[in-house]
Amino acid sequence: MMLKDVMMMILGMLILILGVLIGVAFLTLLERKVLGYIQIRKGPNKVGYMGILQPFSDAIKLFTKEQVFPMYSNYISYYFSPIISFILSLMVWMLIPYYFNMISFNLGILFFLCCTSMGVYTVMVAGWSSNSNYSLLGGLRAVAQTISYEVSLALIMLSSIMLIMDFNMMKFFIYQDLIWFFFLMLPLSMCWFSSSLAETNRTPFDFAEGESELVSGFNIEYSSGGFTLIFLSEYSSILFMSMLFVLLYLGGYNMSLFFYLKLIFISFLFIWVRGTLPRYRYDKLMYLSWKSYLPISLNYLLFFVGLKMFLS
Protein backbone atom coordinates (compact mmCIF):
# COMPACT_ATOMS: atom_id res chain seq x y z
CA MET A 1 0.00 0.00 0.00
CA MET A 2 2.85 2.34 0.93
CA LEU A 3 4.53 1.78 -2.46
CA LYS A 4 1.27 2.52 -4.25
CA ASP A 5 0.90 5.79 -2.33
CA VAL A 6 4.46 6.85 -3.21
CA MET A 7 3.87 5.98 -6.87
CA MET A 8 0.69 8.04 -6.89
CA MET A 9 2.52 10.99 -5.34
CA ILE A 10 5.33 10.80 -7.90
CA LEU A 11 2.79 10.51 -10.72
CA GLY A 12 0.91 13.51 -9.28
CA MET A 13 4.13 15.53 -9.18
CA LEU A 14 4.98 14.66 -12.79
CA ILE A 15 1.51 15.58 -14.05
CA LEU A 16 1.67 18.82 -12.03
CA ILE A 17 5.09 19.78 -13.45
CA LEU A 18 3.95 18.94 -16.98
CA GLY A 19 0.79 21.01 -16.49
CA VAL A 20 2.76 23.98 -15.16
CA LEU A 21 5.21 23.83 -18.08
CA ILE A 22 2.43 23.72 -20.67
CA GLY A 23 0.62 26.51 -18.79
CA VAL A 24 3.77 28.64 -18.85
CA ALA A 25 4.24 27.96 -22.58
CA PHE A 26 0.78 29.22 -23.41
CA LEU A 27 1.04 32.11 -20.94
CA THR A 28 3.96 33.44 -23.01
CA LEU A 29 1.85 33.06 -26.16
CA LEU A 30 -1.06 34.88 -24.50
CA GLU A 31 1.30 37.65 -23.44
CA ARG A 32 2.71 38.12 -26.94
CA LYS A 33 -0.77 38.11 -28.46
CA VAL A 34 -2.21 40.57 -25.95
CA LEU A 35 0.79 42.91 -26.15
CA GLY A 36 0.51 42.71 -29.93
CA TYR A 37 -3.12 43.83 -29.93
CA ILE A 38 -2.39 46.54 -27.33
CA GLN A 39 0.26 47.91 -29.71
CA ILE A 40 -2.15 47.57 -32.68
CA ARG A 41 -0.36 44.75 -34.45
CA LYS A 42 -0.75 41.00 -34.79
CA GLY A 43 1.09 38.80 -32.32
CA PRO A 44 2.62 35.47 -33.37
CA ASN A 45 0.33 34.12 -36.12
CA LYS A 46 2.49 32.03 -38.46
CA VAL A 47 3.48 28.82 -36.61
CA GLY A 48 0.51 26.46 -36.52
CA TYR A 49 -3.10 27.70 -36.56
CA MET A 50 -3.10 31.37 -35.41
CA GLY A 51 0.36 30.94 -33.90
CA ILE A 52 -0.78 28.27 -31.45
CA LEU A 53 2.43 26.23 -31.84
CA GLN A 54 4.72 29.23 -31.36
CA PRO A 55 5.74 28.38 -27.75
CA PHE A 56 7.03 24.95 -28.84
CA SER A 57 9.10 26.35 -31.69
CA ASP A 58 10.48 28.94 -29.25
CA ALA A 59 11.44 26.20 -26.79
CA ILE A 60 13.16 24.13 -29.49
CA LYS A 61 15.02 27.20 -30.76
CA LEU A 62 16.16 28.27 -27.29
CA PHE A 63 17.34 24.84 -26.15
CA THR A 64 19.22 24.07 -29.37
CA LYS A 65 21.21 27.32 -29.34
CA GLU A 66 24.88 27.17 -28.43
CA GLN A 67 25.58 27.36 -24.69
CA VAL A 68 28.29 29.95 -24.15
CA PHE A 69 29.66 30.99 -20.79
CA PRO A 70 32.04 33.76 -19.70
CA MET A 71 35.72 32.77 -19.34
CA TYR A 72 36.04 34.22 -15.83
CA SER A 73 32.69 33.08 -14.46
CA ASN A 74 32.42 30.94 -11.33
CA TYR A 75 31.25 28.09 -13.49
CA ILE A 76 29.51 25.77 -11.02
CA SER A 77 27.38 28.44 -9.33
CA TYR A 78 26.83 30.17 -12.68
CA TYR A 79 25.59 26.93 -14.23
CA PHE A 80 23.40 25.73 -11.37
CA SER A 81 21.66 28.93 -10.24
CA PRO A 82 19.07 28.92 -13.09
CA ILE A 83 18.42 25.22 -12.47
CA ILE A 84 17.85 25.77 -8.74
CA SER A 85 15.69 28.80 -9.52
CA PHE A 86 13.53 26.62 -11.78
CA ILE A 87 13.29 23.81 -9.21
CA LEU A 88 12.24 26.29 -6.50
CA SER A 89 9.53 27.80 -8.69
CA LEU A 90 8.16 24.29 -9.34
CA MET A 91 8.39 23.27 -5.68
CA VAL A 92 5.92 25.98 -4.67
CA TRP A 93 3.28 24.25 -6.80
CA MET A 94 3.25 21.33 -4.35
CA LEU A 95 0.93 23.48 -2.25
CA ILE A 96 -1.90 22.71 -4.65
CA PRO A 97 -3.31 19.29 -3.68
CA TYR A 98 -4.53 17.41 -6.70
CA TYR A 99 -6.96 14.67 -5.74
CA PHE A 100 -4.43 11.91 -6.41
CA ASN A 101 -1.51 13.86 -4.94
CA MET A 102 -2.46 13.35 -1.29
CA ILE A 103 -0.17 16.12 -0.06
CA SER A 104 -1.97 18.75 1.96
CA PHE A 105 0.30 21.20 3.74
CA ASN A 106 -0.93 22.32 7.14
CA LEU A 107 1.80 24.98 7.02
CA GLY A 108 1.42 25.77 3.32
CA ILE A 109 1.78 29.54 3.71
CA LEU A 110 5.06 29.17 5.61
CA PHE A 111 6.34 26.84 2.88
CA PHE A 112 5.39 29.42 0.25
CA LEU A 113 7.24 32.19 2.11
CA CYS A 114 10.33 29.98 2.49
CA CYS A 115 10.41 29.11 -1.22
CA THR A 116 9.96 32.71 -2.38
CA SER A 117 12.69 33.97 -0.06
CA MET A 118 15.03 31.24 -1.36
CA GLY A 119 14.43 32.57 -4.88
CA VAL A 120 16.35 35.72 -3.93
CA TYR A 121 19.57 33.72 -3.55
CA THR A 122 19.38 32.25 -7.05
CA VAL A 123 19.09 35.73 -8.59
CA MET A 124 21.94 37.01 -6.44
CA VAL A 125 24.22 34.07 -7.26
CA ALA A 126 23.32 34.26 -10.97
CA GLY A 127 24.28 37.94 -11.06
CA TRP A 128 27.46 37.50 -9.01
CA SER A 129 28.85 34.32 -10.56
CA SER A 130 28.91 35.78 -14.09
CA ASN A 131 31.79 37.98 -12.88
CA SER A 132 30.48 40.91 -14.89
CA ASN A 133 29.78 44.34 -13.42
CA TYR A 134 26.50 44.78 -15.28
CA SER A 135 24.99 41.48 -14.23
CA LEU A 136 26.12 42.06 -10.63
CA LEU A 137 24.37 45.46 -10.62
CA GLY A 138 21.26 43.90 -12.13
CA GLY A 139 21.31 41.10 -9.57
CA LEU A 140 21.67 43.54 -6.66
CA ARG A 141 18.77 45.62 -7.93
CA ALA A 142 16.55 42.56 -8.32
CA VAL A 143 17.47 41.30 -4.84
CA ALA A 144 16.84 44.70 -3.17
CA GLN A 145 13.43 44.86 -4.80
CA THR A 146 12.41 41.27 -4.03
CA ILE A 147 13.43 41.49 -0.38
CA SER A 148 11.61 44.79 0.22
CA TYR A 149 8.36 43.58 -1.32
CA GLU A 150 8.51 40.19 0.44
CA VAL A 151 8.03 42.04 3.72
CA SER A 152 4.86 43.71 2.49
CA LEU A 153 3.63 40.42 0.95
CA ALA A 154 4.00 38.61 4.28
CA LEU A 155 2.29 41.41 6.20
CA ILE A 156 -0.62 41.63 3.77
CA MET A 157 -0.98 37.85 3.97
CA LEU A 158 -1.10 38.01 7.78
CA SER A 159 -4.47 39.80 7.68
CA SER A 160 -6.00 36.91 5.75
CA ILE A 161 -4.36 34.42 8.12
CA MET A 162 -5.83 36.30 11.11
CA LEU A 163 -9.29 35.79 9.64
CA ILE A 164 -8.98 32.04 9.13
CA MET A 165 -6.43 31.35 11.92
CA ASP A 166 -4.71 28.62 9.90
CA PHE A 167 -1.67 28.24 7.65
CA ASN A 168 -3.38 25.72 5.39
CA MET A 169 -4.19 27.29 2.02
CA MET A 170 -7.15 24.99 1.45
CA LYS A 171 -9.00 26.53 4.41
CA PHE A 172 -9.48 29.75 2.43
CA PHE A 173 -12.11 28.00 0.32
CA ILE A 174 -14.24 27.14 3.37
CA TYR A 175 -14.10 30.68 4.82
CA GLN A 176 -14.99 32.40 1.54
CA ASP A 177 -18.19 30.44 1.02
CA LEU A 178 -20.52 33.41 1.60
CA ILE A 179 -18.34 36.39 0.67
CA TRP A 180 -14.95 36.69 -1.00
CA PHE A 181 -12.14 38.26 1.03
CA PHE A 182 -11.64 40.58 -1.95
CA PHE A 183 -14.70 42.59 -0.84
CA LEU A 184 -13.73 42.49 2.84
CA MET A 185 -10.25 43.88 2.20
CA LEU A 186 -10.34 45.75 -1.09
CA PRO A 187 -7.32 48.08 -0.62
CA LEU A 188 -5.28 45.18 0.79
CA SER A 189 -5.99 42.92 -2.17
CA MET A 190 -4.86 45.68 -4.54
CA CYS A 191 -1.68 46.11 -2.47
CA TRP A 192 -1.16 42.35 -2.70
CA PHE A 193 -1.52 42.40 -6.48
CA SER A 194 0.91 45.29 -6.78
CA SER A 195 3.42 43.58 -4.46
CA SER A 196 3.17 40.36 -6.45
CA LEU A 197 4.02 42.36 -9.58
CA ALA A 198 7.16 43.56 -7.80
CA GLU A 199 7.91 40.08 -6.46
CA THR A 200 7.86 38.55 -9.95
CA ASN A 201 9.90 41.41 -11.50
CA ARG A 202 7.07 42.56 -13.74
CA THR A 203 6.26 45.99 -15.17
CA PRO A 204 6.13 48.61 -13.62
CA PHE A 205 8.72 47.08 -11.26
CA ASP A 206 10.97 45.40 -13.83
CA PHE A 207 14.12 47.06 -12.51
CA ALA A 208 16.04 43.84 -13.04
CA GLU A 209 15.58 44.54 -16.75
CA GLY A 210 17.21 47.87 -15.97
CA GLU A 211 17.19 51.36 -17.33
CA SER A 212 19.65 52.66 -19.91
CA GLU A 213 22.62 51.49 -17.85
CA LEU A 214 21.60 47.81 -17.63
CA VAL A 215 20.98 45.36 -20.41
CA SER A 216 18.35 42.85 -19.23
CA GLY A 217 19.70 42.85 -15.70
CA PHE A 218 21.32 39.88 -14.00
CA ASN A 219 20.79 37.43 -16.87
CA ILE A 220 22.87 39.18 -19.54
CA GLU A 221 25.53 36.46 -19.56
CA TYR A 222 23.04 33.62 -19.97
CA SER A 223 22.21 32.11 -23.33
CA SER A 224 20.38 29.00 -24.52
CA GLY A 225 19.18 26.69 -21.70
CA GLY A 226 20.25 28.91 -18.80
CA PHE A 227 18.25 31.87 -20.06
CA THR A 228 15.28 29.59 -20.81
CA LEU A 229 15.23 28.25 -17.24
CA ILE A 230 15.35 31.75 -15.71
CA PHE A 231 12.54 32.76 -18.07
CA LEU A 232 10.48 29.65 -17.22
CA SER A 233 10.86 30.12 -13.47
CA GLU A 234 9.77 33.77 -13.80
CA TYR A 235 6.64 32.87 -15.73
CA SER A 236 5.74 29.93 -13.52
CA SER A 237 5.94 32.25 -10.50
CA ILE A 238 3.64 34.70 -12.31
CA LEU A 239 1.16 31.88 -12.81
CA PHE A 240 1.51 30.85 -9.16
CA MET A 241 1.05 34.40 -7.84
CA SER A 242 -2.09 34.71 -9.97
CA MET A 243 -3.39 31.53 -8.45
CA LEU A 244 -2.48 32.69 -4.96
CA PHE A 245 -4.52 35.85 -5.54
CA VAL A 246 -7.53 33.71 -6.46
CA LEU A 247 -6.89 31.52 -3.40
CA LEU A 248 -6.59 34.39 -0.93
CA TYR A 249 -9.17 36.85 -2.24
CA LEU A 250 -11.40 35.36 -4.93
CA GLY A 251 -13.02 32.38 -3.29
CA GLY A 252 -10.25 29.84 -2.65
CA TYR A 253 -9.30 26.65 -4.45
CA ASN A 254 -11.70 24.20 -6.01
CA MET A 255 -11.35 22.15 -9.16
CA SER A 256 -14.00 23.98 -11.16
CA LEU A 257 -14.05 25.82 -14.47
CA PHE A 258 -14.85 29.07 -12.65
CA PHE A 259 -11.62 28.78 -10.65
CA TYR A 260 -9.57 28.45 -13.83
CA LEU A 261 -11.39 31.38 -15.44
CA LYS A 262 -10.50 33.55 -12.43
CA LEU A 263 -6.89 32.34 -12.70
CA ILE A 264 -6.74 33.23 -16.42
CA PHE A 265 -8.21 36.67 -15.69
CA ILE A 266 -5.59 37.50 -13.03
CA SER A 267 -2.79 36.25 -15.33
CA PHE A 268 -4.25 38.48 -18.03
CA LEU A 269 -4.08 41.41 -15.60
CA PHE A 270 -0.32 40.87 -15.24
CA ILE A 271 0.01 41.20 -19.02
CA TRP A 272 -2.42 44.12 -19.24
CA VAL A 273 -0.36 46.05 -16.68
CA ARG A 274 2.76 45.37 -18.74
CA GLY A 275 1.13 46.76 -21.87
CA THR A 276 -0.18 49.85 -20.07
CA LEU A 277 2.15 51.20 -17.41
CA PRO A 278 5.61 52.72 -17.89
CA ARG A 279 8.50 51.53 -15.73
CA TYR A 280 8.81 53.09 -12.27
CA ARG A 281 11.78 55.26 -11.39
CA TYR A 282 14.28 53.19 -9.43
CA ASP A 283 14.62 55.67 -6.56
CA LYS A 284 10.84 55.39 -6.02
CA LEU A 285 11.12 51.62 -5.50
CA MET A 286 11.10 51.50 -1.69
CA TYR A 287 8.68 54.43 -1.50
CA LEU A 288 5.66 52.27 -2.34
CA SER A 289 6.68 49.33 -0.22
CA TRP A 290 7.59 51.15 2.99
CA LYS A 291 5.60 54.40 2.83
CA SER A 292 2.31 53.09 1.42
CA TYR A 293 1.88 49.33 1.83
CA LEU A 294 3.44 48.98 5.26
CA PRO A 295 1.05 51.39 7.06
CA ILE A 296 -1.99 50.03 5.18
CA SER A 297 -1.15 46.39 5.90
CA LEU A 298 -0.27 47.03 9.57
CA ASN A 299 -3.48 49.02 10.16
CA TYR A 300 -5.56 46.30 8.55
CA LEU A 301 -3.74 43.65 10.57
CA LEU A 302 -4.50 45.47 13.84
CA PHE A 303 -8.11 45.93 12.74
CA PHE A 304 -8.56 42.22 12.02
CA VAL A 305 -6.83 41.20 15.25
CA GLY A 306 -9.20 43.52 17.13
CA LEU A 307 -12.20 42.17 15.19
CA LYS A 308 -11.19 38.59 15.94
CA MET A 309 -10.81 39.33 19.68
CA PHE A 310 -14.12 41.22 19.73
CA LEU A 311 -15.96 38.35 18.01
CA SER A 312 -14.42 35.66 20.19
What would the DSSP string read from start to end of 219-242? GTT--HHHHHHHHHHHHHHHHHHH
pLDDT at 83: 93
| Gyration radius of the chain's alpha carbons | 20
State how far the alpha carbon of 152 is from the alpha carbons of 30, 112, 217, 306, in Å. Answer: 29, 14, 23, 20
pLDDT at 103: 66
Question: What is the spatial distance between Cα 156 and Cα 152, in angstroms, rounded to a whole number?
Answer: 6
Q: Measure CA 168 to chain center.
A: 19
State how far the alpha carbon of 77 is from the alpha carbons of 71, 73, 80, 150, 273, in Å. Answer: 14, 9, 5, 24, 34
Q: Measure CA 191 to chain center.
A: 15
DSSP string, 1-59: -HHHHHHHHHHHHHHHHHHHHHHHHHHHHHHHHHHHHHTTS--S-SSSGGGTTHHHHHH
Q: Residue 215 in 3-state DSSP?
A: coil
| Domain presence at residue 228 | yes
DSSP-derived secondary structure letter, 96: S
- Residue among 274, 269, 227 nearest 245 (CA): 269
pLDDT tens digits, one per residue of 18-57: 999 999 999 999 999 999 999 999 999 999 898 999 999 9
DSSP-derived secondary structure letter, 284: G
| Domain presence at residue 233 | yes
Cβ distance 173 to 236 under 8 Å?
Answer: no
pLDDT at 100: 58
| Domain presence at residue 37 | no
DSSP string, 107-134: THHHHHHHHHHHHHHHHHHHHHHTT-HH
Cβ distance 69 to 75 under 8 Å?
Answer: yes
Cβ distance 79 to 69 under 8 Å?
Answer: yes
Backbone angles phi, psi at 93, to 5 degrees: -70, -10
Amino acid at 141: R
| Domain presence at residue 262 | yes
Domain count, the chain: 1
Grouped pLDDT means (10 residues each) for the chain, 312 residues: 81 86 94 95 91 92 87 89 92 76 77 90 90 84 86 91 89 90 91 92 78 66 88 92 93 87 95 91 78 90 93 86
| Domain presence at residue 47 | no
| Domain presence at residue 29 | no
pLDDT at 251: 87
Sequence-ordered list of residues with C-beta below 8 angstroms from that of 78, at least 6 positions apart, any chain: 69, 70, 126, 129, 130, 221
Amino acid at 207: F
Per the structure, the complete domain to which residue 73 belongs is given by 66-311
pLDDT at 210: 64
| Domain presence at residue 102 | yes
Amino acid at 114: C
pTM: 0.92
| Domain presence at residue 205 | yes
pLDDT at 101: 58
